[in-house]
Amino acid sequence: MNVHITGHHLEITPAIHDYLTGKLERVVSHFDHVIAVNATLSVEKLKQKAEVTVRLSGKEVHVEAADDDLYAAIDSLVDKLDRQVQKHKQKIQDHHRGEKISDAFAAE
């Protein structure tokens, strides 16, 4: 997994970098097919904004969150991202494991 973090009107300190990558590990632990993560952290007047685009196999997921505190924005962002990645994972799973097509038609 490639993680690229940029700051817009904000310097990315090692503490912020480590905090965000640590939080993103939770998403990777739920879904192994994460190809790349592009994160942008920015400051707009009094709001701290965090944006993430995650490239999965076959899909891109984009999530935004804003808060007064950057760490709270990152927490909210990771919660949203985790829900979307789990939703994508459930969609791609085969829900009819073990059932063959011929068995389904034979029952009718």
Domain boundaries, the chain: 2-95
Would you say residue 20 has pLDDT above 90?
Answer: yes
pLDDT of residue 108: 52
Each residue of 58-99: pLDDT tens digit? 789 999 999 999 999 999 999 999 999 888 888 877 665 555
Which CATH class, in words, describes the domain spanning 2-95? alpha beta
Q: What is the pTM of this model?
A: 0.80
Percentage with pLDDT > 90 across the chain: 54
Is 99 exposed, middle or buried, given 0-12, 13-18 or 19+ CB atoms closer than 10 A?
A: exposed
pLDDT, residue 95, reads: 61
| pLDDT of 43 higher than 60 | yes
Per-residue pLDDT at 10 exceeds 60: yes
Asked if pLDDT for residue 106 goes beyond 60, the answer is no
Q: Which residues pair with 42 in a beta bridge?
A: 8, 49
